[in-house]
Amino acid sequence: MTSQSLRHKASRGLAIHLVTWVVVGLILGWFVVYSALRLGGDSPNQAALPALLVGGTLGVIVAVLGVVWARHRAATGRPIVHRIRITDSTQVSTRDQEIVRLVWPALLGVAAIAAGMAVVLGIHWLGLHGARPKSELLMIIWDLVLALWLLDEGLRVRELIMDGIESLYFGCLLTMVLASIGLARDYAAGGQVVLIVAAGLGAAAIGVLTWRLSAGRFVPVSAIVAIGVAALSLIIPIVS
């Protein structure tokens, strides 16, 4: 792989990661302010727009500053997390190559499910009469972003370029939380269950892959955490 090709892939990865973290900041900022307004006594309709304007804006600003800060630390040799970059298959053991061959198709499968869920939610949202919930619209946008993110990272993993895979892990965790909210509000509940399971498996697969390639010891903690978040995302809407 030529140096020019690597620079192109790195530039593309940076752009996609920036967009995805902007969306993450938007959704998390909205969710925090929305929850605070709801606890303060506002109705869902009263809280939705102010939460989107205030929380979403703050979330985007924090996300952009966070990406810039993280990239600056990485450029100075002090990365926040250990990033994996492998461009030569000879650096990967036969067993780990088998894991890679299992993980990248799994990521593409989760991407297809996320895209399908965005379509299902979009049809449901457009079919509603009266005021349409903005929270469901944000879920549609996020599911589309996640699908593109998974597609890009899945293809990069196939080529053994994994410098952004850790971020996708947290994207899958966020997806499960949002899908749990959608399940609680009956936004295409069956599809939300499928998405939670798929995102959980995707996050667990990423956890195992990064654990193996980082020469981790003992057990893949991040994969166990992913399974736990998936279980809670399914259980909490049922018992609450």
Residues 191-237 have pLDDT tens digits of 999 999 999 999 999 988 888 877 666 788 889 989 998 998 898 78
Q: What is the pLDDT of residue 204?
A: 94
Torsion of CA 16, 17, 19, 24, to 10 degrees: 140
Cα dist. 235→54, 89, 196 in Å?
A: 31, 41, 11
Backbone angles phi, psi at 28, to 5 degrees: -65, -40
- The residue ranges of the chain whose pLDDT is under 70 are 1-17, 20, 44-45, 74, 77-92, 163-164, 215-217, 240
Residues 6+ apart with CB under 8 A from 119: none
Q: What is the pLDDT of residue 173?
A: 86
157 touches 181 (CB < 8 A): no
**Separation CA 190–CA 43 (nearest Å):** 26
Q: What is the pLDDT of residue 99?
A: 84
pLDDT more than 90, % of the chain = 23
Where exactly are the structural domains of the chain?
1-80, 85-240
Q: What is the pLDDT of residue 110?
A: 96
Angle between the N-to-C axes of helices 189-213 and 94-126, in degrees from 0 to 180, rounded to the nearest 10: 160
Q: What is the pLDDT of residue 87?
A: 46
Angle between the N-to-C axes of helices 3-39 and 165-184, in degrees from 0 to 180, rounded to the nearest 10: 30
**Separation CA 215–CA 221 (nearest Å):** 13
Query: Using H for helix, E for strand and C for coil, what is the string for the chain?
Result: CCHHHHHHHHHHHHHHHHHHHHHHHHHHHHHHHHHHHHHCCCCHHHHHHHHHHHHHHHHHHHHHHHHHHHHHHHHCCCCCCCCCCCCCHHHCCHHHHHHHHHHHHHHHHHHHHHHHHHHHHHHHHHCCCCCCCHHHHHHHHHHHHHHHHHHHHHHHHHCCCCCCHHHHHHHHHHHHHHHHHHHHCCCCHHHHHHHHHHHHHHHHHHHHHHHHHCCCCCCCHHHHHHHHHHHHHHHHHHHC
